[in-house]
Structure 1
Amino acid sequence: MSTSSTLDILIGLAQEALDAAGRTLAGHRRNQQQAQTQLDTLVHYQREYRRGLQQAMQDGIAPASLHNYRAFLASLDSAIERASQTVAIQCQQVDNSQRNWQEQRRKLNSYDTLVERRAVLAQVRENRAEQRLSDEFSAQMRLRSAGFPTSPESSS
């Protein structure tokens, strides 16, 4: 197997890994956004419910209703705490996925750089070979114009 085909295989694998890392990152970002939206909704609902409780207390509230309000607010507090933890976990997953995506991108870039360097090196070699041929041709032309034979057949 030639070095080029090996490098092509590595580039293909690196591209697949980068694509997979990108899909994972997008999924984690979506999950984070959903968790954040749920947390925001719970916090908003809690604020509204607290306002309702304050209004009910100003208007006069039965002890049983007050107990129900407080119990419900306690369950909202608990739900908000769980949602906050979920958001934190999702943020960590996004960070980890981002780092993985960046690492995969660096790996692919390093292979691309290697391909570019090889192409430049091949071009330099080709240019040198062309220059040698051109120099040789020029030297033969100078010898001919000076009257010297340029090949063994012409001297016989």
Structure 2
Amino acid sequence: MATKDPLFTVLKLAKDAEEQAALKLKAAQFEHQKRLNQLQALRDYRLDYMRQLAAQQGQPIRADYYQQFHRFVRQVDEAIKQQLAVVAEADRQKQHRQQHWMEKQQKRKAVEMLLEKKALQRQQRADKQEQKLIDEFAAQQFLRRKLTNGI
């Protein structure tokens, strides 16, 4: 009887939805981390480039080299700015996926709780029925003894 309960179908669907949400969350977390790594690589690249200039301090630098250097640094800064926006979007996507997964998890848990409640109610009914049968059997035995001893 319990296996024919439509809630088992609902539970399976809820578990499947939660699993899909978890996979999407994992992908969003991976994408966010990938974007963060790219941002850090850009920052490291800029830092290395600045160190190269600092290492040349005290040495004569051609004006065109200096202008080219600053132009390149501005381009790297712009790339960092753009990457920050990409990281922010990846973070928003990750947060959205996490919220979605949590909602699916709550739905699954609610269905499981309903099934547990129904199972508990079935068990309580069965226990009452069993107790009723035991009581009837004891009453019949009592009456038989009374009749047997009374005759």
TM-score scaled by structure 1?
Answer: 0.90
The runs of at least 4 aligned residues of structure 1 exceeding 6 Å deviation read none
Amino acid at match of 1:42: L
Match of 1:143 in 2: 143
CA RMSD across the alignment:
1.5
Q: Higher relative contact order by CA 8 Å / sep ≥ 6: 1 or 2?
A: 2
CA distance in 2, matches of 1:114, 1:4: 15
Match of 1:122 in 2: 122
Match of 2:66 in 1: 66
Amino acid at match of 2:111: Y
Amino acid at match of 1:137: F
Aligned length: 147
Q: Secondary structure at the match of 1:58?
A: coil
Deviations 1:48-80 (A, max 9, x none): 111112223421210110011101100000010
Write out aligned runs for 1:32-43 (5 A): 32-43=32-43
CA distance in 2, matches of 1:65, 1:120: 80
Write out aligned runs for 1:73-92 (5 A): 73-92=73-92
Residue 139 of structure 1, CA deviation: 0.3
Deviations 1:13-63 (A, max 9, x none): 111110110111011001000000000010011011111122234212101
Deviations 1:94-149 (A, max 9, x none): 1111111000000000000011111110000000000000000000111111117x
**Runs of 5+ unmatched residues, structure 2:** none
CA distance in 2, matches of 1:4, 1:121: 16
Match of 1:25 in 2: 25
**Runs of 5+ unmatched residues, structure 1:** 149-156
